[in-house]
Amino acid sequence: MRLVSWIWFWYVLVGFIMGGGAVIIYNILKNVKLKLVWYEWILMIISYALFLFMCQTFIASFQEFEPKAAWFSLIFIGIPILLMSVVLFRSIKKRYYKIDS
Amino acid sequence: MASNKHHSTVGRRDFMKKLGVGAGALGLGAAGFSSFAGTGFGADGFKDLDEMMASPLAERKLPFWVKEVDEPTVKIDWDNFQAFEGPEKTLFNPASWENPKDYFDIYNRNIASTKKNVQENVPGLSLKDRALADANCWGWGGRSGADLAAPWTGADVKSNPQWEHPTMFYTPEQYGVPKHKGTPEENSRMVRTAGRIMGAADMGFVKLDEKTKKLLWGKIKFENVEKGYADPSKNKYVLPDKDLWAICAVIPQSLWMQQYTERMSWASSNTMSYSRANIYANRISVFLRGLGYQSYGGDTESVGRLVGFGVMSGMGEYGRAGILVSPQWGTNIRTVMVTITDLPLAETKPIDAGIAKFCESCKKCGEMCPSGAISMEDKPFWGGQADCQAEGIKGWYMDSKKCYSYMLGGEPDCSRCQTVCPFTKFDEAVVHDLIKLSIGSAPALNTAIRKMDDVFGYGVEPDLSKTPWDLDPMDIPLYGLDKSRK
C-alpha cells in the first residue's frame, strides 16, 4: 500500500467532517430559528475555508516528508480558526438570548 | 519463505479472513494511517509473523488482486521446449526470411508510406512527429546508428538502411520536403512540447545578440560560414554568423532523494540529472536536425554561462548561492542545458518573482553551507575578480574554491544550498504557492517567512541513518522523480 494511494482516504474523511459539520450547523440554526447576520456568515465562511486549508496543509506536509510542518500547521492555522469560532459562537449566543428574552 | 516449526506462518489473506471483514476494515484504516504518517508499517505484507518483525520488506509486493502461482498462465511443455537460436533468427534479419526480397519489399513500402505521410503532413506522422520520434529513439544503442558521443554540431545520427526502421534519422531532404516552417511562437511551443517529453522541467529562449553572445564561452567565435564547426584539438568552436537562438532548459533533480544523506542524494539524484541532461541535449539536437535546422552544444559544459542563460531566458532568478532559483522548482534543478539553433523562436523574457529580493534577507543557504563558500553580504555586489570568476554581475559571488574543496576534498558530496533553499519544496501543500505569492508581492514579509521556514522544520540536516534501501521498492518514484511535480 503506497503512501499516495491512501491520500484519498484522508480527503474523504475531511469531506465527511466538513459536510457533516455543515449539516449540523444548518439543523441547529433551523431549530433555533435564528438568522445569521452578514459578518457572521463571513466569519463562518472564512473559518470553513481555513479549516479546509489546514487539513490540506496537514495532509500534504506528510506527503512532503515534513511531519514537523504538518503539526505546526495545525497550530498556526488552527488557532485563528478557534478564535474566529469563539467570536462567532459568542455573537450568535448573545443575539439568541436577546431574542429569547 | 517456507514455514518451519519455529515460525508461525500466517498468510496475509488467511490472516485477513481469520480476523473477519470488520477487523479487515480496521486493518485497512490502520494501514492508511501508518502509510500516511510515513511509517509504512501497515503497508508491509508478511508470510510469517516472526519474519515480519525481522524483515517486513523482504517480499515483493503485488497489488491485492494479483496472486503468485507456481506455473505461469501460459502452458509450457518443458520436455519439448526448444531454445531459440538467437536474435539473428528473428524477422528483423533479412537472412532469416525464406525469401529476403519479402523483407526488403516491406521496408521499401515502409519508406514509401513514411515519406508520403510526411509529404502530405498527416497529423501524427508529419515531419515534426517524425523528428520527435527519431529524437526520442536517440540512445537506443548502436543499431539505431546513433553515435553516443555528442559533438559540437549536435548528436551524430544517420539513418541505417539495414535497419527495420529505415527512415529513422531522415532529414527533410531525404523525405523530399522543405524544412519545417512556423512562426517563432509556433516553433517555441513545438520545441517546448518536445522538450517536456524529453525531460526538461522548464524551457526558455534567448536570441543571441551583442549582449547575450557574451554569455557564451569566450573561446566560441562567429564566422561567416553556413554551418558551424569545431576543432577540439585546437580548442576552436565556431558558430555561423547569422540569427541564432539559445534553447534553454532546466533538468529536474529528485527532491524525493534529497531527504536522504548528501552522498545518497548526490549519487542517485544529482548525477542522474546530469545524465538525463545529456540525453535531453542529444535528443533536442536530433529533433532540430529532423526539422532541418542546425544545433550546437551537446553536453553540460559546451556553450557558456549556464546560470546566465537561465536568468536571461526567464527560467529563474540569480540567487545568493550563485545558482539559478526557479519559482516552480526552487534550486532543485541540476543544470541549465543550452542548445544553440537557427530555428526562429519567440524570446522569453527574464522574470521577477521576488526571489533575488528574498535572498537578501534569507541567507539560509549561506548559514547552512558547511564550507562557508556562500556570501553572507546583505546586498548583492559587483565582484568577479577572484579566480574562476568573471566580472559584470551585481550579485552574490560564491567562493567556488571553498565549495569545490569541501565537496571533493574527502568530505561528503554536498547539495545543502539546494536542499535548504526555501524555494525548494514539494508542491503538494497549497501553502507554498501562497508563500511564493507573498514573496513576489509583499517583500516586507520576507524576514518573517524565512523565520517560519525554520520553525516549520524545513531544510534541516537529513537523518544520516535514513536510507532508501529499507523502503518498499515500489514506493520509490520512478527515476527518483517526484510524480506530483508539474
Instruction: Note the pLDDT tens digit of each residue in B230-266.
Output: 888 888 889 999 999 999 999 998 888 877 776 677 6
Tell whether B182 lies on the interface with A, counting CB pairs under 8 A.
no
Cβ–Cβ contact B19 with A under 8 A: no
pLDDT at residue B38 tops 50: no
User: What's the one-letter identity of residue B229?
Assistant: Y
Residues of chain B in contact with residue A10, where contact means CB-CB under 8 angstroms, are 32, 36
Residue B485: the pLDDT is: 56
Nearest to B474 among A2, A59, A64 (CB): A2
- B149: alpha, beta or left? (left if phi > 0; alpha if psi -120 to 50): beta
Strand, helix or coil at B142?
Answer: helix
Q: Does A40 touch chain B (CB under 8 A)?
A: no
Mean pLDDT of B26-41: 42
Which residues are CB-neighbours of A36 under 8 A, at least 6 positions away?
A29, A44, A92
Average of pLDDT values for B52-62? 62
Residue B161 pLDDT grade (very low, low, confident, very high; cuts 50, 70, 90) = low
- B117, B128 in Cβ contact below 8 A? no
Q: Which residues contact B179 (CB under 8 A, 6 or more apart)?
A: B172, B291, B292, B293
At B389, the pLDDT band (50, 70, 90 cuts) reads: confident
Q: State the pTM of this model.
A: 0.83
Smallest Cβ–Cβ distance between B456 and the set A5, A62, A69 belongs to A69
For the cut 60, the answer to whether the pLDDT of residue A36 exceeds it is yes
Kindly provide the ipTM of the predicted complex, given to two decimals.
0.84
Q: Which residues in chain A have their CB less than 8 angstroms from residue B31's CB?
A: 1, 6
Residues in Cβ contact with B385 at an 8 Å cutoff, skipping those fewer than 6 apart: B391
Mean pLDDT of all residues in chain B?
A: 83
Interface contact flag, A73 B431, Cβ < 8 Å: yes
- Name the residue with higher pLDDT: B358 or A101: B358
Residue with cell 469531506: A15
CB contact under 8 A, B31 and A6: yes
**B84-88, B158-162, B343-347, B399-403: the lowest-pLDDT one:** B158-162
What's the CA gap between B359 and B423, in Å, rounded?
10
User: What is the model's pLDDT at position B35?
Assistant: 44
Using an 8 Å Cβ cutoff, are B100 and B94 in contact?
yes
Q: How confident is the model at residue B477 (pLDDT cuts 50, 70, 90)?
A: confident
Closest-CA distance of chain A to residue B63, Å: 8
Give dist(CA A9, CA B393) in Å, integer.
51
Q: Which range is least confidently modeled, B50-64, B290-304, B421-435?
A: B50-64
Under DSSP, the state recorded for B179 is P
Instruction: State percent of chain B over pLDDT 90.
Output: 51
Q: Which residues pair with B295 in a beta bridge?
A: B341
Q: Cell for B176?
A: 523530399
Distance between CA atoms of residues B331 and B338, nearest Å: 18
Which residues make Cβ contacts (< 8 Å) with residue B345, sequence separation at least 6?
Answer: B184, B187, B188, B191, B205, B207, B245, B247
CB atoms A2 and B43 under 8 Å: yes
Q: Indicate left, alpha or beta for B480 from its phi (over 0: left) and psi (-120 to 50: alpha).
A: left
Buried b (16+ CB within 10 A) or exposed e, B127-161: bbbbbbbbbbbbeeeeebbbeeebbbbbbbbebbe
Chain-centroid distance of CA B311 in Å reads 19
Higher-pLDDT residue of B25, A55: A55
Task: Say yes or no for a CB contact (<8 Å) between B484 and A63.
Answer: yes
Burial B273-305 (b: 16+ CB within 10 A, else e): beebbbbbbbbbbbbbbbbbbbbbbbbbebbbb
The pLDDT value recorded for residue B58 is 60
Phi, psi of B22, deg, nearest 5: -60, -45
Whether residues A6 and B38 touch (CB distance < 8 A) is answered with no
